[in-house]
Structure 1
Amino acid sequence: MKATYTLSRPVLPVGTSSKIDLVVSFQADAPAASTRRPLNLGLVIDRSGSMAGAPLKHALQASRQLVERMGPEDWLSIVTYDDAVFSVLAPTRVTDKAAIGAVLSSVRAGGCTNLSGGWLKGVEHVGVNKSPERVNRVLLLTDGQANMGITDPGALVSTARQKSADGIITTTLGFGSNFNEDLLIGMANAGEGHFYYIQTPEDAEGVFGIEMEGLGSLVAQNLEVTLKPAPTVKVASVLNRYRFESRGQEVAVGLGDVYATEARQLAAELSVDAGSASGPVTLATLVFRAQAVVEGVIREISGEVPIVANLASASESAAVSADKNVLAQTSRLRIARVKDQAVELADKGDFGSASQRLRQVIAEVSAHLDKASYDIAEEVEQLAHYAQRLESRKYDPVIRKEMRDQSYQAGTRSRGDLALRGTAGGSADSLEAVSSAGIGVLLKCVREGGKLRVHAASEGYDPGFNVQFPRSVREEGVTYVVDKLEPSGDGTFYRVGGTIKRLVMPGQERGARPAEGAKKKGKPTASKVTGSAADLPTTNTVGTGVLVQCVKEGSKLRARVVSDGYDPNLNIRFPRDIREENVLYVVEEIITTGNGGSYIACGDIHRLVQ
């Protein structure tokens, strides 16, 4: 196993104090070998009444696919539970897959949810054949609340931690919208396993495939990392969701398992008091150790990595750009924390503060990171969608689960297929409905791997490219007509330009409808203000407005729209007297000129304060 690191700022100015981000990646030394460590799995399936129909059907089908990935060297047990617990398959080697399939086919939905009883029986079965040479794991599937047996979340999480210390890992999978995500995430964290949100039953097989892909490529277990900072450096925070412990100036972090198919990453913020002499300086020493199977024997592997930066003059330091990849990664981790904060506030009924936190992070990301990356653009669009839902007091279990899942996955995993999952879009009902595309471009909204995606359907465009598209009007299965589609700056996705309409059958045409709760307005007029930026009224939230930033290009101050769904490269008609470099403005409305080549700021303008 090898460890590599990157700093957000590799060159620091001498004689100053600053904060920088560190990202460390742990990966296999070489591509995964054809052989893998034998599995010892306990499959625990909720068969309570709420699982009846599609959820149980797809959970069982995903379980059959899991069995197909196993071999005669692997052990499997199957427990089902409702208000009672049934060991439908005692621990057995996977030699007769047809017989195991028959067992799964006999499972039917039952009564209440004795989650603790089913899970503990699964742990017991895995314990029969537990071995350091095997991957010992329980996979707990549920769609409901623990309402029988041990129901106290704290007791269940503590027990999961104890079982992990004994060598049995727990992975939790939540189906639908009724399970307790805080409990399942807590058990997965304490149990050193993974958590998955299966929003629709059809996603179950893909999620099982992700888990099995990891288990089949295990490189090392129990990865422990200690950051030992230099006397002039402090570990300000660990940005991931891993368990960690401060030991004086040192910080010990448990990262769990490492897979060949997925780098394990550790991100931290360092506070540095730079010395007065130029040249390389060791900020910290990273010490790691883990257990790995080497030539059929469990051995401890370890290593040390010095974290080195360069000190230089202020001008030399300023000439070196920040690492955008590191900033993007650490921004996602900080956004994950904000999502959890927003959930906590919304749970208390404080929807205004919850939305404000999301709007603030939108402004921060828009100000410091360009959106040439589709992932960043999509992150901002989802934040705006959640903020809008909170402002409309449409805070439901699905939105809560999406935000908690996205926060969890960002904080613990580095897989793109698990990032930003969620299919709770908006509604296309507010759009003007037309029956002909005319000279417009056709787009289609589809669900892909637990995500809502929009792709081009007209000829001349790459249907594999994602389209940056407002989530508030994304609706699965809907076809849209847009004025134009332009490639992003890096040429990897498209941006929508002009108006968006919905394509319908002839006879169903109609005009646009105001969004729910929207106020009817007259014709928008260009913004007119007097005085300077300092004279503008201020706001600490974007609300339903549009974010505009002022930047310097050569000798000119240029305004650009940085809210998602707009092209930041287009010019905007914006009052010159209030333009001030790096100031963020909230504009009531942005409209596109008749030729689609520029924007006009309309209505009130506020200065955003943070």
Structure 2
Amino acid sequence: MKFSAALDVNVVAHEAADEVNVLLEIEAPAGPSTTDRAATALQVVLDRSGSMQGAPIDGAKQALIALVQRLDPTDVFGLVTFDNEAQVVIPAAPLADKADAIERIKAVYPGGSTDLSSGYLRGLRELRRATGDADIRGGTVLVISDGHVNAGIRDADQMADVTAQSAGDAIVTSTLGYGRRYDETMLSAMARAGNGNHVFADNPDAASAAIAGEVDGLLSKVAQAVSVTVHYEPQVQSLQLYNDLPANQIGDGQVMIELGDLYADEQRKLLLRLGIDRLSALGLTQIARLELQYVEMPDLVEHTVTVPVMVNVVPGDEATGRVPDPTVESERLFQEAQDHKNKAAKAYESGDVDAGNEWLTQSVLRIDHACAIAPDAVAGPIADERKEIRRMRAMAHEAGANVMSKMAYHSYHEQNRKRGRRRS
């Protein structure tokens, strides 16, 4: 696992308040061959409420059949459906009889209301039972829903607490919002707290592609329970994480950031801001230590990689006129653009298209600035993001607030929470 840190400025003022931005980059190794991979566990929780009637349920069933065909007999698979209550369609177990699983998927039909919590909790119980029997560590729950929750637990924060507890047991929760009527706040919050992915699929083809992408990651997993702990010195007065990831204070001067699982060749970026004050010793000084911890697959070996964060403390007049590193500075601007995109998503969700568009305009301004200073090595993805935000802004009035909210939340998840992800 490659792990590095770069500062926007490495010279700070002596005995004065100052701040530095730190860009963390993580790159996962190539995975083993498919014949050598460890068995994996996937529990699908599928909305079969009445709104799934027709193309949505048919498309989801076809995607799940394709999923089953890709799994190995040793992989654990289960399917729970839900409407006003949960139903175990395929008990979670090693997938020894694919033909039977496919026939059970084909027999799923739409029902009544939408009690997502009953389906999710039942799916969790199935996954925990099956992985305990199969001696598999953790697993993934994939929630597929097209509607707003109208039964069971309806509070997004409460559901996020449940998925966060599952993440502590190495169970990742990913969510797929299907169509234009689902609750993006609920599904996005569940994925964030569950260290998983959140995807918006507007039609059956997009849903099939999203499910296939989730399986791609699952089958190429090389690291579980990935976290970065920031151990900072007392002179660090504040710590800000730009990425919207689960982070907890675990002791004096220690904050742990959860990243979930990493796939083969996957890259991730995190951006921190450290506010420092009154560094009294001139010269090279350590202000923090970054500790990357993960469990390597398939052998379940735990690893720790440590990187120090050093600054050069100089007299105040020597610190003036600093020029920030363009790679780190362009990332800061990129993440400020994501913050504006998230505010746009919330404005669209409230029905205010004009306010959403204004936030996207502010996002584009940050991205334009980032494009102007970004080195060639990082300019491509930033330019692609500029095109995407401009495209979203141009289509906003025609698409409407409901669709724009879902698009913006989906894009924010990719570019802020999963920033830097690139799969071979």
* Both structures adopt the same fold (TM-score exceeding 0.5): yes
Shift of the 97–338 alpha-carbon distance from structure 1 to 2, 3 Å rule, reads same
Shift of 1:409: 1.8
Other structure's SS at 2:163 match = helix
Out of 186, 195, 211, the position equivalent to 2:198 is 195
Match of 1:403, as an amino acid?
A
Separation (CA, whole Å) in 2 of partners of 1:2 and 1:374: 22
Separation (CA, whole Å) in 1 of partners of 2:286 and 2:20: 14
Other structure's SS at 2:255 match = strand
Shift of 1:97: 2.1
Once the two structures are superposed, what CA deviation does each residue of 1:192-223 show, in whole Å capped at 9, x if it has no partner? 32222112321123222222222223233223
Shift of 1:176: 0.9
- Does the CA-based 8 Å contact 2:93-2:130 persist in structure 1? no
Q: Which residue of 2 aligns with 1:288?
A: 292
Match of 1:304, as an amino acid?
T
Q: Which residue of 2 aligns with 1:588?
A: none
Q: Which residue of 2 aligns with 1:45?
A: 46
Matches within 5 A, 1:176-325: 176-246=179-249, 247-272=251-276, 280-293=284-297, 296=299, 298-310=300-312, 322-325=324-327
Q: Which residue of 1 aligns with 2:404?
A: 399
Shift of 1:179: 0.5
Match of 1:376, as an amino acid?
I
Q: What CA RMSD, in Å, does the superposition of the two structures yield over aligned residues?
A: 3.3
Once the two structures are superposed, what CA deviation does each residue of 1:203-244 show, in whole Å capped at 9, x if it has no partner? 123222222222223233223322123344444310111111
Provide structure 2 residue ranges, at least 5 long, that are not aligned to the other structure.
none
Separation (CA, whole Å) in 2 of partners of 1:349 and 1:60: 32
Q: TM-score w.r.t. structure 1 length?
A: 0.60
Separation (CA, whole Å) in 2 of partners of 1:301 and 1:237: 26
Shift of the 259–310 alpha-carbon distance from structure 1 to 2, 3 Å rule, reads farther
Other structure's SS at 1:130 match = helix
Separation (CA, whole Å) in 2 of partners of 1:227 and 1:326: 18
Tell which has more relative contact order, 1 or 2 (C-alpha 8 A, sep 6+). 2
Matches within 5 A, 1:361-380: 361-367=363-369, 369-370=371-372, 373-380=379-386
Separation (CA, whole Å) in 2 of partners of 1:2 and 1:413: 17
Separation (CA, whole Å) in 2 of partners of 1:329 and 1:399: 25
Report which of the two structures shows the higher radius of gyration computed on alpha carbons: 1
Shift of 1:401: 0.8
Matches within 5 A, 1:562-573: none
Shift of 1:101: 1.9
Match of 1:267, as an amino acid?
L
Shift of 1:126: 0.9
Match of 1:187, as an amino acid?
M
Shift of 1:320: 8.4
Match of 1:142, as an amino acid?
S
Match of 2:50, as an amino acid?
G
Match of 1:45, as an amino acid?
L
Q: Which residue of 1 aligns with 2:22?
A: 22
Q: Which residue of 1 aligns with 2:30?
A: 31
Matches within 5 A, 1:568-607: none
Shift of the 152–352 alpha-carbon distance from structure 1 to 2, 3 Å rule, reads closer
Separation (CA, whole Å) in 1 of partners of 2:154 and 2:363: 36
Q: Which residue of 1 aligns with 2:4?
A: 4
Matches within 5 A, 1:84-483: 84-131=85-132, 133-246=136-249, 247-272=251-276, 280-293=284-297, 296=299, 298-310=300-312, 322-347=324-349, 354-367=356-369, 369-370=371-372, 373-384=379-390, 395-414=400-419
- Does the CA-based 8 Å contact 1:225-1:286 persist in structure 2? yes
Once the two structures are superposed, what CA deviation does each residue of 1:417-448 show, in whole Å capped at 9, x if it has no partner? 79xxxxxxxxxxxxxxxxxxxxxxxxxxxxxx
Separation (CA, whole Å) in 1 of partners of 2:418 and 2:152: 32
Shift of the 5–154 alpha-carbon distance from structure 1 to 2, 3 Å rule, reads closer
Shift of the 320–212 alpha-carbon distance from structure 1 to 2, 3 Å rule, reads farther
Shift of the 291–364 alpha-carbon distance from structure 1 to 2, 3 Å rule, reads closer
Match of 2:72, as an amino acid?
G
Shift of the 43–394 alpha-carbon distance from structure 1 to 2, 3 Å rule, reads closer
Other structure's SS at 2:112 match = coil
- Higher mean displacement: 380-389 or 49-58: 380-389
| Residues paired across the two proteins, number | 413
Match of 2:385, as an amino acid?
E
Once the two structures are superposed, what CA deviation does each residue of 1:260-311 show, in whole Å capped at 9, x if it has no partner? 23124322112345869876442311123333357x4x44322321123456
Q: TM-score w.r.t. structure 2 length?
A: 0.84
Q: Which residue of 1 aligns with 2:65?
A: 64
Other structure's SS at 1:65 match = helix
Separation (CA, whole Å) in 2 of partners of 1:86 and 1:382: 40
Shift of 1:161: 2.7
Shift of the 261–108 alpha-carbon distance from structure 1 to 2, 3 Å rule, reads farther
Matches within 5 A, 1:474-553: none
Provide structure 1 residue ranges, at least 5 long, that are not aligned to the other structure.
419-610
Separation (CA, whole Å) in 1 of partners of 2:40 and 2:334: 33
- Does the CA-based 8 Å contact 1:213-1:261 persist in structure 2? no
Shift of the 302–381 alpha-carbon distance from structure 1 to 2, 3 Å rule, reads closer
Separation (CA, whole Å) in 1 of partners of 2:136 and 2:105: 28
- Does the CA-based 8 Å contact 1:221-1:292 persist in structure 2? yes
Other structure's SS at 1:179 match = coil
Shift of 1:183: 0.5
Shift of the 415–97 alpha-carbon distance from structure 1 to 2, 3 Å rule, reads farther
Q: Which has the higher strand share?
A: 1
Match of 1:100, as an amino acid?
A
Shift of the 272–349 alpha-carbon distance from structure 1 to 2, 3 Å rule, reads same
Separation (CA, whole Å) in 2 of partners of 1:316 and 1:205: 57
Shift of 1:399: 0.2
Separation (CA, whole Å) in 2 of partners of 1:137 and 1:71: 16
